[in-house]
Structures are given as structure tokens and as C-alpha cells.
Structure 1
Amino acid sequence: MYWAVGPEIEEFEKIVSQYVGTKYAVAFNSGTSALHATMMAIDLKPGEEVIVPSFTFIATCNAPLFVGARPIFADIEEETFGLDPTSVMQKINPKTRAIMPIHYGGMPCKNIEELREICEEKGLILIEDAAESLGAKIGGKPVGAFSHAAILSFCGNKVITTGEGGMVLTNSGELYEKLKLIRSHGRLETEPYFLTTKTLDYVTLGFNWRVPTVVAALGISQMRKLDKVIEMRRRNAEYLTNSLRPIEGIVTPKEPPGLFGVYQMYTIRVKNGLRDKLREYLAKKQIMSKVYFEPVHLTHFYRNVLGYSDCLPLTEKLSREVLTLPLYPTMTKDEIEYVVESIREFFELNH
């Protein structure tokens, strides 16, 4: 097995691209490097703008900054926490180059078709950040297949994991060739690196963003389990939802018609300003919960260093309510019931 350029890498890429339904895939050592490489591959220039949500992991928003461009924040809708097309339209200007929605927590962005139509009408590039949503679908079509390029992540908390890793999916042969160069020092490879006797040339700027062969081999084995993992996640999510729904004071996740979620995260909304208090209560019961996400535009870096002053009402409202609960494929009914009973106890004490 080659350490960094073995055949397992291309096999892993082929399996994922065929699963999603794109022509090409390029594996990277992280989702963040996949985002950065995509910004380079579309030749995003300093001063150009990419419209993004603030309700996301910060890497989504940082990606344009890596090449001197600027993320522009649009608000979201409250069903799937995806970009709101109305807000996006308000942010488009002559500097806009791309729109990058995320598929939050394994739930497809319900407005992806409308966002694609906006991009087609305005001559913009659509990039899906599908880091959390491999296997999710809209109308039977997998997320990642709606755009010029889509980013996946395989870090430890994703639907399947290789420990760390990422991938870019695309139907563009031009982007595919650029991404391969960027991933490996700008080196033009026409034959396997360790087998060729030819002198290899370097034709552009690139990085060491290769995925190790052993990681790709793990990815191949993980892909064989993906549908089963999704089935287990969905079953546990349904059980959790049915158990939590009667409790007043919380809103459980719901799939809009035609959407198929994979529940990489199970996120509820806690009403009446009780979210943080509930989180502390669960921690005392040895139940881990997390806030995904705090708005990026309100972080110290964006507010105080970069000078952003955006007001995104729904993003800010939702970020004060969301709480992600434990959910994993092998979670037992007893474990789920313990979480549910703990939440029920909390609201009985705080009604």
C-alpha cells in the first residue's frame, strides 16, 4: 500500500462520486482544505464576494478569506436552517461570485433548487457545503449533486468518518483537474508517482493536502456501511422525536415533504430562554449537549477584527434556541429514554 498516492484513493473517490451521482471526486485531508481548494479552483479573486450563512461552522465562512475574497452573510429559514433565497437576493451585487449554502446537521437545505435557479439567472457559482449531510436527499436526489462543486467532511462527528478527511464533488472536468493539482503541490501527474520514470513538472501553486492511502482505505470500508448507518440514525431520530414531541417548551426537528435527512446531528429548539439552563441540567445528568451553531458574524474575529456589523434576525434568534442532543447509530432505547426523561424532568421543574 502506497503511503499517499495509492489506488485506494481513486477507489474511494469513485465510490463516493457514484453514490452521490457526480462525475468526479477529489479527496482531501480535511473538509477545510477541500473548501480552500475549491475557492482556488474557481479562481475566486481578492475583492470578490461569496454569500454564506452565519449559522454554520466557521470554516464555511473563512474559505473565501483564504484567497482574499469576502464572505457576505445572508439569513436563514427556520425549517431546515438553510439559506433564505429572499435574503440572498438582497445581498447580490456586482462583486458577488458565488453562493454557498450548507446542508445543516444532515438535513438538506430545502431551498437548494431555488438557490440554483438564482445562480443560473445571475451567472453565479453554486457551491454546496454538504460536510454534514452525505446521504441526505431532496426529491430522491442526493445533496452534493445540485451544484458546480460540493464539499464533504469525514471528521470524527460526521455521518461516516475516516478520523479526518474531506472531498470535493463536481461535474466539471476543468475543476477536477485543478483540484488535483492544488491538492498535491501543483504537480502534474500522468502516471503513478512512485512508478513513473519521467521527470514530473509543477505547473501551479499547490499544497500538501493529500489524503493518506490508509485513510482512503478506511473510507472505502465506511462507505459500505453508510446506508446502514443512515438507517440506524433515522430510526433513533424518529424514536427520539416521538418521545420528545409531547413535551411543551421544545420544538423537535421535522423533515419537510420531499426531504430525506440523515441526522448527523439531532437539534431541538428550546423556547422561553431556557436553552442554557437545560444544557446545564443535562450536563449534571452526564448528558452531553452542544450548541450548533453560534453565529459566525458575532464572533470576536468577524465583529472586532474584520469589522462585520451584520444583523441577521432569524439566525440570531435560532442560535439562542438550538441545542444538539446525543444521537448516534448504536444508541439504545434505554439511553434515549434517559435523555427524554431528563428533559421531561427539567421542564417539570421549570414550568
Structure 2
Amino acid sequence: MSDSFIPISKPFIGAREKELVLDALNSGWVSSIGKYIDEFEAGFARYCGTEYALAVSNGTTGLHLALAALDLQPGDEVIVPDLTFVATANAVAYTGATPIFADIDPDTLCIDPASVKSLISERTKAIIPVHLYGHPADMDALTEIGEAHGVHIIEDAAEAHGAEYKGRRVGGLGKCGVFSFYGNKIITTGEGGMLTTNDRDFYLRAKRLRDHAMSPRRRYFHEERGFNYRITNLQAALGVAQLERIDDFLGRRAEIMGWYNSEIAISDSVRLNRVKNWAKSAFWMVCLEVDRLDEAGRDAFMQALKARGIDSRPYFCTMSSMPMYKQPPLPVSARKARIGLNLPSYYELTKRDVQRIGADVNELLATMGPA
């Protein structure tokens, strides 16, 4: 393996992050109370263009909290994309409701509104579009379906900080949005997440459930079961510093995507991220699809890249392929999951790095023969 190994992702932690985290440490407010939590929530709400933001322990708990605030019950159904990280489906299952899997659009990789429409039933309570790999879902079409059937839209924006749908940032396009700040996300708090919304009543209910559902009138009295889904002041301090740089982070990701488009030999059968004309992608991950690969070929291709010192990762597995959610495969999701892979994309990646990755990708594809 090359000595200059290029990882798939790594966070950028600078002097400002260290300054604010040290300040939080020195303040003594290291748990779930402190000025940085308030500052992070207010700043993130402004950034997303929403009235409210609620910091939580991670993106998965944010999704569960949103569904719990909607009083999801066993027997209810929530439509989610078949191609997503498992947290989207698991959060539904945590409530006792049933995740129903919709197929995806082959270009955006996001949930297909036509598939959603075919799955709506009297038990459907919510739809969770995932802005997969940073590209927003078709929110107008989904909102129209939701409004026609009285169904809430919860945006899983875990991977899409700063992505835009028709000029509006994701996170404020449905009942609520949920973001992740895991270490490989566009901005990070190590672990952490944020729920965004314009609905005051929903925000207040989610906020109460986040803190064990403690009564506002009587301390340590709880009228229902709640959760400990809080973030710490230390994490929020890191988040405040990262949020200050988010436009810089997003600009670099767009620049990196441009480099890849110049370096990799794209064709009808070799594709990188596609972006709809109504969307601005956050380009969380660089996506490469090669039609002539099957799953074994894709995995061998990734191993060959690794031998050359370049990390990569496969697309997420489909929800319908997993034992706890097993059902017949959905054609587009299943196909994309077999052939898709992600290439390195992080702030400190250089043009020279991308040139090296592109040259190796092109060389490996050439050895495979014609499409």
C-alpha cells in the first residue's frame, strides 16, 4: 500500500474549534447546559432559515424524537427510501410503527415520489425523504402527496447541510428536518445532531421529550416517558466553530466535485454525481457508478483502489435486503446498491490528490475492457 494513503473522509479541526472547546471546558459547563448549546441552536436555525432548532445527541435520536413528537404508534406506517443508512428505518421501528420502503430516483438517488404515491395507505402517518449523499429530494412532489393525504414530511438531512431545493435550504421544507454531526459529516460535533422546524408546538413537544419529558411545573415529575437525547456544551462549542466555516466547507466540496468531473472519464456507463437544475447539492460524498460492474466487481474495484493507497466505500445496503426488514428487492435501489461506491471528499483533499485518484480510476476502468 502507498505511504500516502488517501482516506475516504476526515474532519477539519482548526484553532477556532480548539479555542471554543477549551473555553467550554474552562467554564465548567461541560454537560447539557451552557451558552454554546443556545448559540449553536440559534445559529443553525438562522442558517437553515427555520424558526427553531433543537440540538440532540445524534441524527438517529433526532429522527426518533421527531417521530415520537408526532405520537407514532404500532400499526402506523412511515414511508422511507429503500436506499439509505439504516438509521432512517430503525428510527421508525423504535416507535413501534412500520417502515415501508419506496424505490429511488436513478439520478438523485433520493426517494421517488411516484413510488411513494403508490404506497400511501390509511395507516401512513409520515414520509421521510433522505437527501442522500447531499442531493435534496423532490420536495414539491412529496409535499403535494403529503398534503393530499394528511401525511407529515420529515426531512432526513443528515448528509445535506447547506443543500438547497429551489433556492431554499433543506431542513425547513417539511414538518421538520434532522441533521447529523457525526465525524464524517460536513460539519461535526464528534457525535450530535439537530432537529429544525417552523412549528412552535412541535418544537416545544420535542424539546420536552428530549429531556426525559420533565414537567415544566414540577421538577423531577414526569407525566410521560421521555428520552435523554441531549447534546453537551462541549460538543456544541465545537459545532459553533464549525458552523462559522460551513460556507468554506461547502465551497471546497463543490470545488472537489469539479476536479473529479474533470479527471474521471465520464460516459453514459460511468457516472459521477448528477445534480438536478432545481437543486444545489452539498456533495457530502462523491458518488461513482459503473454500469458494467456487479457487486463482486465493484468490491474488487474498491480493493484495487485500496492497494493503490486510495480509500473508498460502497453505497449503503438496501433496507429490503436486511434480515429485520427483508422483502423483495426494489429494482432501482437494488441496482444502485450493487454498483455504487464513494470516493474521498474532505476539506483538506487537494487537486493533486484528485488527479491521482482520477488517474487510478481511469486506469483500472481501462483494464476492465470496454463497457
Secondary structure of the residue aligned to 1:131 is coil
Cross-structure match for 2:188: 161
CA contact under 8 A between 2:263 and 2:359: conserved in structure 1? no
Unaligned runs of 5+ in 1: 191-197, 304-308
Cross-structure match for 1:170: 197
Q: Cα offset for 1:247? A: 6.3
Q: Map 1:255-334 to 2 at 5 A.
A: 255-273=275-293, 274-303=297-326, 309-334=327-352
C-alpha distance 151-278 of structure 1, shift in aligned 2 (>3 A): same
1:341 match: 359
2-side partners of 1:310 and 1:298: how far apart?
A: 8
Which stretch of the first structure deviates more once superposed, 37-46 or 247-256? 247-256
Contact 1:73-1:310 at 8 Å conserved across structures? no
Contact 1:56 / 1:296 at 8 angstroms: preserved in 2? yes
Aligned equivalent of 2:12: none
In the TM superposition, residue 265 of structure 1 has moved relative to its aligned partner by 0.5
Deviation, structure 1 residue 213:
0.6
Is the partner of 1:338 in helix, strand or coil? helix
- Give the AA of the match of 1:280: Q
> What's the offset of the Cα at 1:200?
5.1
Describe the superposition over 1:67-109 as per-residue Cα deviations: whole angstroms up to 9, x where unpaired.
Answer: 1100000101011111111111111111111110100111111
After superposition, residues 190-269 of structure 1 pair within 5 angstroms as 199=219, 201-246=221-266, 249-269=269-289
1:147 aligned residue: 174
CA contact (8 A) 1:128 1:151 kept: yes
Length, aligned pairs only: 338
Q: CA–CA distance in 2 between the matches of 1:23 and 1:188? A: 24
Q: Report if the CA contact (8 A) 2:266-2:272 is conserved.
A: no
Q: How big is the alpha-carbon RMSD for the aligned residues of Structure 1 and Structure 2?
A: 1.5
The answer to whether 1:22 aligns with 2:50 is: yes
Are residues 147 and 207 of structure 1, via their aligned partners in 2, closer, same or farther at CA, if it must alter by over 3 Å?
Answer: same
% same residue: 35
TM-score by length of 2: 0.88
1: CA distance, partners of 2:139 / 2:261: 25
* C-alpha deviation, 1:232, in angstroms: 0.6
TM-score normalised by the chain length of structure 1 = 0.93
Pairwise CA distance, 1:219: 0.6
Q: Describe the SS at the equivalent of 1:202.
A: coil
Query: What SS does structure 2 have at the residue aligned with 1:232?
Result: helix
Q: Distance in 2 between matches of 1:322 and 1:199?
A: 51
**Given residue 344 of structure 1, which amino acid in structure 2 is its aligned partner?**
N
Q: Which runs of 5+ in 2 are unaligned?
A: 1-26
Residues 204-250 of structure 1 deviation map (CA, whole Å, 9 limit, x = unaligned) = 31122110011111111110000000001110111111211446752
Q: Which stretch shows the higher mean deviation, 200-209 or 154-163?
A: 200-209
Give per-residue Cα distances to partners, 1:132-187, cap 9 Å, x unaligned: 00100012100111100111000011111010101111111111111111111112
